[in-house]
A and B are shown apart, each in its own frame.
Chain A
Amino acid sequence: EPEVTQTPSHQVTQMGQEVILRCVPISNHLYFYWYRQILGQKVEFLVSFYNNEISEKSEIFDDQFSVERPDGSNFTLKIRSTKLEDSAMYFCASSTNYEQYFGPGTRLTVT
Chain B
Amino acid sequence: AQSVSQHNHHVILSEAASLELGCNYSYGGTVNLFWYVQYPGQHLQLLLKYFSGDPLVKGIKGFEAEFIKSKFSFNLRKPSVQWSDTAEYFCAVNLPDSNYQLIWGAGTKLIIKP
- The one of A42, A97, A100 in contact with B106, judged by C-beta atoms closer than 8 angstroms, is A42
Q: Tell me if B26 is interfacial: C-beta within 8 Å of chain A.
A: no
Q: Is the CB of A43 within 8 A of B49?
A: no
The A/B interface has a contact count, at CB < 8 Å, of: 56
Q: Is the CB of A48 within 8 A of B100?
A: yes
Residues on B with beta carbons closer than 8 Å to the beta carbon of A25: none
Q: Is the CB of B101 within 8 A of A33?
A: yes
Q: Which size class do B's interface residues fall under?
A: 20 to 34
* Distance in angstroms between the alpha carbons of A45 and B102 in the assembled complex: 7
Q: Using an 8 Å CB-CB cutoff, how does the interface string of B103-114 with A read, 1 for contact, 0 for none?
A: 111110000000
- Within B64-114, the residues touching A (CB, 8 Å) are 90, 92, 94, 98-107
List, sorted by A's number, 16 A–B pairs whose CB atoms are closer than 8 Å.
A33-B100, A33-B102, A35-B102, A42-B106, A43-B90, A45-B101, A48-B99, A48-B101, A50-B99, A56-B98, A56-B99, A99-B46, A100-B46, A100-B100, A102-B43, A104-B42
Q: Which residues of A contact B (CB under 8 A)?
A: 3-4, 31, 33, 35, 41-45, 48, 50, 55-56, 58, 91, 95, 97-105
Q: Which residues of B contact A (CB under 8 A)?
A: 32, 34, 36, 42-46, 49, 51, 90, 92, 94, 98-107
Known: A42-B104, A55-B99. 15 other contacts (CB 8 A): A3-B43, A33-B100, A43-B107, A44-B104, A48-B99, A56-B99, A95-B100, A98-B49, A99-B46, A99-B49, A100-B102, A102-B36, A102-B43, A103-B43, A105-B43
